[in-house]
Structure 1
Amino acid sequence: MMSDLPLDQVRTLLAVVDEQSFDAAAAVLHVTPSAVSQRIKALEQRTGRVLLLRTKPIRLTASGQVLVRFARSLAQLERDALSELGLGSSARTMTIAVNADSLATWFLPALAGVPEDLALAFDLQREDQDHTAALLREGLVMAAVTASPQPVQGCTSHRLGRMRYRAMASPAFVTRWLSGEPLPSALPAAPVIVFDRKDDLQDRFLRGLTRRRTFTMTRHHIPASESFVDAVAAGLGWGMVPELQAVTRGDALVDLAPEKPLDVPLHWQQWKLDSPALAAVAEAVAKGAKQSLR
């Protein structure tokens, strides 16, 4: 049972995951690397399960994920209690997973609405909105902006709104690649910008436009939100640009299909914790989303 778990061993497991090495965890905990290894082995023997895969990067097993979620919840409750008692001496860290386009548009202004007296330090992990829930499941973050409405075990889920994307290109790109034939015929053959290999927004748009399922056009991978839009404006290819960013580019971008926007629903998932700090962050994020998302 959880009450039988030695807390020093559980905290050591969390430190190894956060620091991604036994040596670094030892430095944080002010013990030797050998002591860290012994604690992890003792915890695995106590639970009868392998908790860590000693790979690079270190990976958690399903059982390890359960214990890391427990450890991180415990740490947050401890920080909240110390803060309420006036004994907190440093900023409390809040780990959040967020997709790049939200991070580049509405999310940071939303976090600015969190009361300063909470003294929170944000540790943001950037990940595709279709994959942020995995970081919650693994216990690596406490909250996430995600495309999935289905709450991760031990979490709550609340709808934030829809981020609208539009198929955009530069005027010169339109002239070179998309003039002279209908868009459903011309666009699949034109170069495209994608964020990374997890990004399927462009293919999703093309499937809706052409009813085809696979596409083999030239793909440029630009894994940074602002640089992605810069690449589209420079004429390297077309891409699905957040409406919040497209409106700031004026005539540098052309909407290829004004009647066919692509909406991505976003949700806020967080651990089920009675934490004033987490509640304040959730409130600020919801307020920011209401002002910016559809």
Structure 2
Amino acid sequence: MMSELPVEQVRTLLAVVDEGTFDAAAAALHVTPSAVSQRVKALEQRTGRVLLQRTKPVRPTESGAVLVRFARQLARLERDAWGELGLSGGGEPTRVSVAVNADSLATWFLPALTRVAGLCFELHREDEDHTAALLREGLVMAAVTSSPDPVPGCTVRPLGRMRYLPVAAPAFAATHLDGRPLAEALPAAPVVTFDRRDDFQDGFVRRLGAGAAGRLRHSVPTSEGFVEAVTAGLGWGMVPEAQAGPLLDRGRLVVLAPGAWMDVALHWQQWRLDSPALAALADAVITTAAETLRR
């Protein structure tokens, strides 16, 4: 019966995933590629699971992701222990990896980070519907996500709601809407989307009783670029009210359906660890969200 997970083997697995190849992991660990391969094989034999997809770059299997997450948590606890002992832990800065959606990153999330001193942040930009997957794979320690269901080994806390308004440039609205009912006009009008997975605009059109947004779609995969594309008149789109507000005040955007909006509930998920670094970050994020998001 397996009694423990050999730390050396688990750390080697993490190095292979992070570096992408066995050779690169060997260089990072200052051992031979043969030693790396033997450690990974020994861990697979010990767990009775295939842990890696031998692709380029290497990717963990579902079982491998569990051990990768464990390895990162182990490293986090080790660094915290060094810090509590007043030691440098090898001189490495305290690094925290977080997955966050583009709209939060462009509006309220970065000010939250300024409230935490002494941490080095590694941000992964991902749609709020998919950030939890990065937690599940062990790639990040915490995430802003739309899912209220905690990833195994994580805690979840509500942050608030981000409100999106259906807007367009005034000239665009005059040309493509022309006073017609939105359920009739929007399915035929050009639309701006974030990427191919973005169906947020379609969801708004479906709420109006129509099928979907128009087929002429411009994909702009940054939050700032998305707003600029809508403001330039490329198409209409759902824009966070924090970004839309100043442009509405200046007359550069108009709301297509006054009194209509879509809210996205956001949550904070993080590893269930007694980590001072994660606790400080969580306090800062939750405080900032309470000041900026809708309840």
Which residue of the other structure, out of 86, 92, 101, is the alignment partner of 1:99? 101
How big is each residue's C-alpha offset from its partner over 1:172-227, in whole Å with a ceiling of 9 and x where there is no partner?
11111011411111011101111012212111111111253x45521111001101
Query: What is residue 270 of structure 1 aligned with on the other side?
Result: 270
1:128-167 matched pairs, under 5 angstroms: 128-167=127-166
TM-score (norm 2): 0.94
Aligned match for 2:111, one of 109, 112, 115? 109
Cα deviation for residue 103 of structure 1 reads 0.6
| Correspondence for 1:187 | 186
Matched, 1:207 2:206: yes
1:29 aligns to 2:52 (yes or no): no
The 2-side partners of 1:57 and 1:183 are apart by 47
Distance 1:282 1:150 in 2: 17
Q: Is the 8 Å Cα contact of residues 97 and 122 (structure 2) preserved in structure 1?
A: yes
- CA gap of 1:2–1:141, structure 2 versus 1, over 3 A, is farther
* Counterpart position of 1:293: 293
Which sections of structure 1, spanning at least 5 residues, go unmatched? none
Instruction: Decide which moves more: 203-212 or 165-174.
Output: 203-212
State the partner residue of 2:226: 228
Determine whether 1:284 maps to 2:287.
Answer: no
Q: Equivalents in 1 of 2:257, 2:56: separation in Å?
A: 44
Q: 1:57, 1:225 → 2: CA distance?
A: 29
Q: CA deviation at 1:2?
A: 7.5
User: 2: CA distance between counterparts of 1:168 and 1:158?
Assistant: 31
Within-5 A mapping of 1:16-95: 16-88=16-88, 89-95=91-97
Select between 262-271 and 251-260 the one with higher mean Cα deviation. 251-260
Distance 2:205 2:288 in 1: 31
- Map of 2:8 onto structure 1: 8
What do the CA deviations read for 1:92-114 (whole angstroms, capped 9, x no partner)?
11111000000111001001111
C-alpha distance in 1 between matches for 2:27 and 2:242: 43
The CA deviation at 1:6 is: 1.1
After TM superposition, list the pairs within 5 Å mapping 1:167-182 onto structure 2. 167-182=166-181
What is the CA RMSD across the aligned residues, in angstroms? 1.4
- After the TM superposition, list the runs of 4 or more consecutive aligned residues in structure 1 that deviate by more than 6 angstroms: none
Change (3 A) 1:94 1:173: same
Shift of 1:56: 3.3
Residue in structure 1 matched with residue 240 of structure 2 by the alignment:
242
Q: Alpha-carbon deviations, 1:141-174, whole Å to 9, x = none?
A: 1100000001111111000000000111101111
Would you say the 8 A contact 2:190–2:216 is kept in 1? Answer: yes
Write the letter of the residue equivalent to 2:205: L
How far, CA to CA, are the matches of 1:217 and 1:261 in structure 2? 22
- Could you tell me how far apart the structure 1 residues matched to 2:2 and 2:99 are? 26
Conserved? CA contact 1:128–1:198, under 8 Å: no
Please state how far the C-alpha of 1:137 moved relative to its aligned partner: 0.8
Structure 2: unaligned runs, 5 residues or longer: none
TM-score computed with the length of structure 1 as normaliser? 0.95
Distance 1:2 1:233, change over 3 A: farther
By how many angstroms is 1:57 displaced? 3.8
In the aligned structure 2, how far is the partner of 1:56 from the partner of 1:204? 37
Write the distance in 2 (CA, Å) between the matches of 1:16 and 1:105: 35
Query: Which whole-Å CA distance do the structure 2 matches of 1:80 and 1:239 have between them?
Result: 44
- Identical residues among aligned pairs (%): 68
- 1:32-67 CA distances to partner (integer Å, 9 max, x unpaired)? 233222211111111111001112343221211111
Report if the CA contact (8 A) 1:132-1:145 is conserved: yes
Kept in 1: contact 2:98–2:143 (CA 8 A): yes
Q: Provide the rounded CA distance (Å) in 1 between the counterparts of 2:70 and 2:7.
A: 10
Judge conservation of contact 2:186–2:213 (CA < 8 Å) in 1: no
